[in-house]
Structure 1
Amino acid sequence: MAKVYMYVVDRDFGFAPNPFHGFCTLATCKPRIRNVAAPDDWVIGMGGKKLKATGRCVFAMKVTHVVTYNEYWTNPDYNDKKPIPNGSKRIMLGDNIYSQQENNQWKQAHSHHSYPDGSTNIHNLTRDTKSNKVLISKHFYYFGRAAPIVPDLLLARLGFRNAIGHRTFPLAEAREMLSWLDQEFLYQQNQLIANPFNFDKGITHYSVENNRITVIK
């Protein structure tokens, strides 16, 4: 039976999730969700205090494909998701950053999750690769900084409150909220409705080691 996974988005750069190039993808962070989510499940990211967006929906994606890191890396359909250090901002935020070598060692591309000089951030790599799965959606709503307020009654009926970690709901329990999304935003499906909350911060690198963002320009 399909499920809905909901969590609070602390940082919204356009990296996790990555809403660019026609797909919404979750390829890093949230390994517990990535490890269990399957096609037809939903992942919903709600705003919180750090984004000053409590009660607002940052994104909602229906999982349409699940692939491994190596499948993501080698499939030319997802080449635009590979970061290029001197590319556009959207390209630099690419989340297609991991591949597993023949010796089973992981390779991390120069990216938002590497160190600024492009060297491997082992702390991010260790956390990200706790799941080898990438969630891909061709049926999504990405609102970014235009995140709409979800009616309090919907959240109350669902029983969702902002907290650490994620909540899992049977699809039937979340159907009212999903219907609200479809009815209110049908013609904005599969679009970048607005840039991510933190998109204008410059070239950034995040490290889970100290939960810190480094801005290099």
Structure 2
Amino acid sequence: MSQIFTPERLIVYVVASDDGLAPNVSADYCSLTVCKPVVRRVARPLKDWVVGMSTNKHGATKLIYTMQVEEKLPYNAFFKDSRFELKKPCLKRPFGDNFILNDEAVLPWACHYSKPDKMRANLKTPFSLVGQNYWYFGCNAPILPKNMWQTKLVQGPRRGHKIVDNPAHVAQFYHWIKKNFNTGVHGAPRDQSPFFS
């Protein structure tokens, strides 16, 4: 497993739908392959962490996940890499995110397979962000400490993303997550159907 690095920046967005697709935390890796094309475009491997916060409805101060960006792989490389074979969707795992090859969805079980508008948006940034060091909470999302509520970490009712590059705010988050939680999966996806749990 790779080393945990201190991030230079946090790229923060709201996880509107936490169903297991984006982020996807299977096969010992966290990946962000679909949705959030701008986040995927601006993320810098070995420098940035991605932070996914909850919605206002479920509690805007709750953390769904964070991952350190260790790799930024073109879709074809991600699809062909044997490490990510278990991320390919099938009947039992329809939320796998490894289904794009040569600019098209090639696996019919994929969630976005029959949604050309979503595929067009994804292909604007044909990269998958991957990290082996991640903290995924899903339905068990913890509340951030109150001293972080007034930072850019808490998004509220907004689309898009924010970049937290204030060194003090980045350090606060980094030390809080490392001190209080082990890496890995701490809960099931908040919005996943019980059929696939």
Q: In 1, Cα distance between the equivalents of 2:104 and 2:117?
A: 13
Over the aligned positions, Cα root-mean-square deviation in angstroms equals: 1.8
Read off the aligned partner of 1:92 and give its amino acid letter.
P
Determine whether 1:78 maps to 2:78. no
Letter of the structure 1 residue corresponding to residue 141 of structure 2:
A
**AA partner of residue 104 (structure 2):** W
Q: Which runs of 4+ in 1 moved over 3 A?
A: 157-161
Q: Which amino acid is 2:39 matched to?
A: I
- 1:112-144 CA-partner distances (Å, limit 9, x unpaired): 1123xxxxx211110111101100011100001
Give the aligned partner of residue 4 of structure 2.
none
Residue of structure 2 equivalent to 1:106: 104
User: Is residue 132 from structure 1 mapped to residue 131 from structure 2 by the alignment?
Assistant: no
Tell me, in whole angstroms, the C-alpha distance in 1 between the residues paired with 2:140 and 2:147. Answer: 21
Q: TM-score, normalised by structure 1?
A: 0.80
Does the CA contact (< 8 Å) of 2:152 and 2:163 recur in 1?
no
TM-superposed deviation, 1:10: 0.7
Distance 1:202 1:113, change over 3 A: farther
Residues matched between the structures, number: 186
Check if 1:200 corresponds to 2:196: no
Is 1:94 matched up with 2:96? yes
Report SS of the residue matched to 1:179.
helix
Unaligned runs of 5+ residues in structure 2 are 1-6
Residue 106 of structure 1 and its aligned partner are, at CA, apart by 2.5
1:166 to 157, 161, 168: 161
Contact 1:155 1:161 (8 Å CA) reproduced:
no
Structure 1 stretches lacking a partner, 5+ long: 116-120, 204-217
Identical aligned residues as a percent? 26
TM-score by length of 2: 0.87
* Aligned-residue offset at 1:155: 2.6
2:152/2:162 contact within 8 Å kept:
no
Q: 1:95 to 1:171 in 2, by over 3 A?
A: farther
